[in-house]
Structure 1
Amino acid sequence: MLFTSVFKPAMRWLFLLGIMGIAQWGGASPPTLQERGKSVARSTVVLDEQELRWMASHPRVVVTALEYPLYLFKDEHGHWTGLNSDLLKRISDMTGLQFVYQESFSTDQMLAHLERGSADLSTTLSMNEERRALLDFSHAFGGAGWVFVGQAGVPPVQSLEDLAKRVLVLPTRHALEAMIRRDYPSIELRSVKTRAEARAWVESGEAYATIENEIGAQLFPSGRLQLGAVVPGKWDGDYLAVRKGRPQLLSILNKALEAFPEQELRAIRLKWLGGTSTSQAHGFWQRFDQWVCWGMFVVSLFGLLSLLWNRRLAVVVRQRVEAQRNLRDQLAFQHALMDAMPDPMFVRDLQGRLIMCNKSYEDALSTRFDRMQGRQLIEVDVMPGQTAELLHAEFMAQLSTRRTRFFERQLVFKDGVRDIYQWTVPFYTADGQLRGLLGGWADIARRTRQT
């Protein structure tokens, strides 16, 4: 009774304070919304006649897209998202340009699409002298440094001079490749197709280091890798790269970037590159006077304590159910992704037992996954005995050395000898623990016939 007699008057008093605070905040809201509307209106781009004619004859702008986490990547539904996707959507609203994505799988492939004219634009290509001869670059709208990525447990790379007489691996046609070949001839430079392959080379010890964008390099679990210093004097600017022969498109993009509201661009970058939630929460509380903050504190103290445990239990249960559903969705997506691959693929654990495979693997060996699950290759009759023993021994040796393998070979299958391109890569947990092998092969003769 005493609690009730004290609690009810206090709640009535705090409710009154809350209504006054909300009224004060609501009174300030309309001007804010009006200012926001004016900002959007001011950001509309005015195009000249040549630009309008070009847009009329080019209803779609093809964007060659390479997945680059945070900047541009596919979500779980296969839709392109990220910082650069949000930027293009806003430019589309401002100009009327319609952007469509054409997926690429390496920097070299992106450049090839632009050179051949099958794509008009890229959002993730860095600028260098070689590319300036092939492409036109828009105004910069951000950027980051380049950073060295080396093996954990060795002194971090501090400069390019540290790599003299050592192997540096870079994706083909990397933005810094020409400069390094010219200015640092003592570095043993190797080229691979993708950033993932470059990291694998460093992990296996085949290369001493690679170089990545500073923001992108921090997104991946370190495992057997560590970040070194920022490459001195080199900057990876954010540009929109347009293929030659599209001056109107370049002009439209530059006008849009010039008209882009600074606060909106900053908000997009904060959304994807961090700090957004903190800034929003801080700005929310700043809109309240000190007495409103105290009122909310007392409300939480007297009003929410009675419901805390029930709400907490409901949240925990809901989060657990959501986590289980997300995990099932991720597993279903992984299975669908593997089954979509035309070449056989498999995953084996530290003892060489089969964890997962795709439909192509089952078809190639004329068997079913449930017959092979949890069993070593030498325990199932899907290959000639000598071939099974050879491959199993190679898997176990590779797990002990932790080296990646990409090579052409001949193997005896039950239906005869095949020329294949085989690859196997160790994979790790987020904390760097070795979990097994991911591998597969491609039938060289079949690919030659398709070509």
Structure 2
Amino acid sequence: MQLLRRLTPALRWLVLFSVLMLGREGLARAPDASAAQGVATARPLLLSPQEREWIARNPQVIVASVQYPLYLFKDEQGQWTGLSHDILRRLSRMTGLQFVHQESFSTEHLLGLLESGQADMSSTLAVNDERKGFLDFSHAFGGSGWVFVGLAAGEPVQSLEALSGKVLALPARHALEAAIRRDYPQIQLRAVKTYAEARALVESGEADATIENENGTYQFPAGRLTLGASIEGHWVTDHLAVRKGQPQLLSILNKALEAFPPAELRAIRAKWLSGVVPVQPPSPWQRLIQWACWGGVFAGVFGLLSVVWNRRLNRQVECRLKAEEALNDQLAFEQCLINAMPDPVFVRDLEGRLIQCNKSYEEYLSTRFDRVQGKRLTEVDTLPAATGQLLHAEFMAQLGSRKGRFIERQLTFNNGTRCIYQWTVPFYSANGVLRGVLGGWTAPRGPRQQEPR
């Protein structure tokens, strides 16, 4: 309630208006409730770690695409659309893959793109034995039949036997071409590039018939061509064809198709294949109302999120400033404490590089911290080379053994040899991870020497 009181009156009215408009639009779309319920009950998409890693390495999948209404074609704006495109868009939302169309202009060219590795998959290919040699096919998600197409003035073709001694026009490497050549050698096959060219040969009388997917027959010129019988024993099953050598991609697509909401799949197929007259586009006034509705929703949500987000950021900033202030106080205290120690003290990391030292260390070795920070004893001239190598080797051995070392010894410095009491101990992080070595030296305590522990 406190959050709502902070909103301006205009924003509250805008939110109320948006809710009312959404409620009105929701009532108008009540018939879609069954589809929404189907989406809600869809099975989750469970991908293996290897499949998720494959998606991360291969975010884009090249789809060899030929225009094949109503499955896949370009609209007036040059954008891909159709049944297959809608399914690919839904699979993209489910998997995170981006399907990029690479346009082809014939079935033969499309197959060539897949064979040469220039494309990863296709969404409009039917299955046959030749294609199984270099393609893997996903689970089916629909299908239709093959039908004969002939001249409207002639007798409709009823069977392949009826075409004995006649010309059958087919796009090169058609899904049925190999089977027809094998089982019906008496048919004269005429290879062309596209289905449109095959229909043109039938219209001109140069071919007696062609074969089409029954879902594409809506585009025939009125009165010029006619449909014959369906080809018995041959059914066009809708698959996604994947170039061999990509088992992860095939598995991802199969899992996504299994998890595809059935109601949504039926809705997509009905949208393109049911033959229902398309709904009339909304009027300019209706579009204006819709835009105002969605604009109000976005503005209201944005306003609410802005208030919540700003309050959250303010709390985080306050907490961070307090934490930084406490940390700075602690660091200042620690630095003051270590500088107040009369004896040299130093801290080195796991590779012997200097992390920190006090003023006594700088004065004893006649140097400054900024000159030796991050360097090993073997890399600076604060000690004779032999002494630097000796101490560095001892530090590395001590890090390996993880034991403290307390010893009275003589060391050669740049200004002469001195007797000192040296101490070095490994130090650890808060979670017990070895981080380096802490040490220093002072005047000798007495004649006895304490061996390393």
TM-score, normalisation: structure 1: 0.54
Q: What does residue 95 of structure 2 align with?
A: 95
1:218 is paired with a residue of what secondary structure?
Answer: helix
Which runs of at least 4 in structure 1 moved beyond 6 Å after TM superposition?
Answer: none
Q: 1:159 to 1:240 in 2, by over 3 A?
A: same
Query: Does the CA-based 8 Å contact 2:38-2:262 persist in structure 1?
Result: no
Residue 267 of structure 2 corresponds to: 267
Deviation of 1:40 (Å) = 4.2
Q: Give, in angstroms, the shift of residue 43 of structure 1.
A: 4.2
Change (3 A) 1:180 1:38: closer
Identity of aligned residues (%): 61
CA distance in 1 between counterparts of 2:197 and 2:90 reads: 34
| Whole-Å separation in 1 of the counterparts to 2:246 and 2:226 | 41
Match of 1:211 in 2: 211
Deviation at 1:54, TM superposition (A): 1.1
Query: In the alignment, is residue 141 of structure 1 matched against residue 131 of structure 2?
Result: no
The residue that corresponds to 1:49 in the other structure is 49
CA displacement 1:413-440 (0-9 Å, x = unmatched): xxxxxxxxxxxxxxxxxxxxxxxxxxxx
- Find the counterpart in structure 2 of residue 359 from structure 1: none
Instruction: State the match for 2:75 in structure 1.
Output: 75
Q: Is the 8 A contact 1:201 1:207 kept in 2?
A: yes
Task: Give the structure 1 partner of residue 197 of structure 2.
Answer: 197
Give ranges in structure 1 of 5+ residues lacking alignment.
1-21, 281-314, 319-451
CA distance in 2 between counterparts of 1:48 and 1:170 reads 42
Task: Provide the residue aligned with 1:174 in structure 2.
Answer: 174
1:253, CA displacement in angstroms? Answer: 0.5
Larger Rg: 2
Comparing 154-163 with 44-53, which one deviates more in the overlay? 44-53
Q: Which stretch of structure 1 is more off in the superposition, 267-276 or 240-249? A: 267-276
Separation in 1, partners of 2:73, 2:249:
24
Residues 37/229 of structure 1: CA separation in 2 closer, same or farther (3 Å cut): closer
Match of 2:125? 125
Query: Are 2:110 and 1:110 equivalent residues in the alignment?
Result: yes
Q: Write the deviation string for residues 58-79 of structure 1: whole angstroms up to 9, x where unpaired.
A: 1100011111112111111111
Paired residue type of 2:190: R
**Deviation sequence 1:19-53 (CA, Å, 0-9, x none):** xxx99x97x97xx69x9478347444111011111
Deviation track 1:106-144 (CA, whole Å, cap 9, x = no partner) reads 000110000011101111000011111110000111111
Question: Comparing 37-46 with 263-272, which one deviates more in the overlay?
Answer: 37-46
Structure 2: where are the runs of 5+ without partners? 1-22, 286-453
The alignment's C-alpha RMSD in Å is 3.0
Tell me the SS of whatever aligns to 1:242: strand
User: SS where residue 101 of structure 2 aligns?
Assistant: strand
Query: TM-score, normalization: structure 2?
Result: 0.53
**2:226 partner SS:** strand
Instruction: State how far apart, in whole Å, the 2-side matches of 1:174 and 1:183 are.
Output: 15
What letter corresponds to residue 158 of structure 1 in structure 2? Q
The count of aligned residue pairs is: 259
Residue pairs, 1:3-402, within 5 angstroms? 36=36, 39-40=39-40, 42-274=42-274
Q: Find the residue that maps to 1:229 and give its secondary structure.
A: strand
Q: Deviation digits for residues 192-247 of structure 1, max 9, x if unmatched?
A: 11111111111111111110101102322244221111111110111100001111
Q: Which amino acid aligns with 1:226?
A: T
Q: Which amino acid aligns with 2:117?
A: G
Residue in 2 aligned with 1:424?
none
Greater per-residue helix proportion: 1
Query: 1:77-97: CA deviations, max 9, x gaps?
Result: 111011111101111111111
**1:292-325 deviations in Å (ceiling 9; x for gaps):** xxxxxxxxxxxxxxxxxxxxxxx99x9xxxxxxx
Distance 2:275 2:222 in 1: 22
